Amino acid sequence: MREVEEAHSGLPEIPTCDNGRMCPPVEKQETDVPDKPQLKRYRHTWHYTLIADNGSFLIRRFLFEKNADGKLRKTGKEETEFSKAGEDGKSVEHFEKN
């Protein structure tokens, strides 16, 4: 992920990863997904990553808008940035539905 962001984001890598660049998951940000034991969720500043037991993963970006004072706030909407199926052909979306 770092290599892809370096090549395509145009943003510098910084330790806090709060400049809009996507960063790889870290264990301290891992949470369970309620009623979906096969999924783990990793929270990031601008996005989150879901990883399934079968190796599939998905990256969703939070959508923001500017308030009247110019500050960003989440819209409550998300957009899938990237999704890759596991070796069995099942995607994270499959596990989210079931």
Residues 22-52: tens digit of each pLDDT: 777 888 889 999 999 999 999 988 889 999 9
Q: What is the pLDDT of residues 64-82, one digit of tens each?
A: 999 999 998 999 999 999 9
Residue 14 has pLDDT above 90, yes or no: no
Q: Which residue has the tokens 């783990």?
A: 40
Of residues 1 and 68, more confidently modeled: 68
CA-to-CA dists, residue 39 to 55, 62, 63, angstroms? 10, 19, 22
**How many structural domains compose the chain?**
1
Residue 48 belongs to domain spanning: 2-97
Contacts 24+ apart (CB under 8 A), 82-86: 82/58, 83/56, 83/57, 83/58, 83/59, 84/56, 84/57, 84/58, 85/56, 86/52, 86/54, 86/55, 86/56
Confidence class for position 12, pLDDT limits 50, 70, 90: confident
